[in-house]
Amino acid sequence: MEKYLKGNIRNKNDYSDTSGKACVYSIRIWDGVFISANCIYKEEIIHKGSSKYDMIFVNCCLDGRCEVHFPDDSYGYVEKGMLSIDTMLPKEGYFYPGKKYEGFEFVIISELAAKCPLNDFGLGEKTLSSYIVNGKGFMGNISETLMSLCEKLYKLILDDNTALEDLRFYTLEFLAMIKNGETRKYISKRYVTKGQRHIANATEKRITRDLSEHINISSIAESLGLADSTVKKYFEAVYGVTISEYLKNRRMALAEKLLSESKESVGTIAGMCGYINQAKFGAVFKAYTGSAPLEYRRLKKLI
């Protein structure tokens, strides 16, 4: 890390393991100023300890969902079209409900950015710090224009041929848009407590333990001493979709993997994904991917 902060312009941190893939592609655009493309396809990235530096993080979600842990031990969730501004690393790591997050990140390290030209444009640390109130991070919805710019920066970071000057120009534009009101505070009742988050996570683990099973939510709610509607409400607050929609997405992702990587029959795969009726499985799969199961398998073999 130290070598990167003072030397290398580009850096790739790979957090992939048996639980999924995750890479963060970072570029130092000025001393103490970094931008990153975060490509996360796993549930969490665990870290221990805290940074010795004072930092400000700005994250714009392009797809998926990321958890924000607030000092009062409540949790909020940044999803597509939203932005967060914070000065604190999460205590235990980063959590991504749904095992997917793609986003653009901007970071200032105060001690290393003293001579950063951002301050000359009024776009530096002081401007971003104004969004932090009583130590609590900011969550907001962003305009379509700012969203398009974040998508552009994300793609430019992933392109090794992108000129540093272009990244600096578009980063200045990004910060100017934030300063000029292209984001607004997110007002939502979907903040959850630590206990509510635990209930949602426990429910997710139970319903996805074996995707061939059909778990009765009432049995889960009863074991927790809660009403069905309460469990469903907490789950949707954390994962952003209903339990049935979440299960469908996980089953279709498994079906894609099995059709691509195994030689199992479509009927067997349907059963492994919780579908007794192969025709129903085929219809749902086609609606999800745009291709029938056998067609999808043939297309994958051609790639």
Q: What are 206-257's pLDDT values in tens digits?
A: 999 999 999 999 999 999 999 999 999 999 999 999 999 999 999 999 999 9
Q: Which of 135, 157, 185 marks a domain boundary?
A: 185
The answer to whether residues 247 and 291 belong to one domain is yes
185, 220, 244 - which closes a domain: 185
CATH code of the domain covering residue 277: 1.10.10.60
* Residues 164 and 20 placed together within one structural domain of the fold: yes
Query: Is residue 209 located within the same domain as residue 164?
Result: no
Same domain, 24 and 117: yes
What CATH number does the domain containing 65 carry? 2.60.120.10
266 and 285 inside one domain: yes
pTM of the full predicted structure? 0.86
Say if residue 111 is in the same domain as residue 234.
no
Domain boundary among 125, 154, 185: 185
One domain for residues 20 and 162: yes
Residue 151 sits in the same domain as residue 172: yes
**Domain assignment of residue 275, given as a range:** 193-302
Number of domains the chain is built from: 2
Distance CA 197, CA 190 (A): 11
User: CA–CA distance from 147 to each of 14, 60, 89, 141, 292 (Å)?
Assistant: 26, 8, 24, 10, 33
User: Per-residue pLDDT for the chain (303 aa), expressed as one digit of tens each?
Assistant: 444 445 568 899 999 999 899 999 999 999 999 999 999 999 999 876 566 778 899 999 999 999 988 878 888 899 999 999 998 877 778 999 989 999 999 999 988 888 888 988 888 888 888 888 877 888 889 999 999 999 999 999 999 999 999 999 999 999 999 999 888 876 555 689 999 999 999 999 999 999 999 999 999 999 999 999 999 999 999 999 999 999 999 999 999 999 999 999 999 999 999 999 999 999 999 999 999 999 999 998 865
Say if residue 159 is in the same domain as residue 240: no
Asked if 61 and 30 sit in the same domain, the reply is yes
Judgement on whether residues 58 and 95 belong to the same structural domain of the protein: yes
Place of tokens 């393991």: 17
Same domain, 181 and 197: no
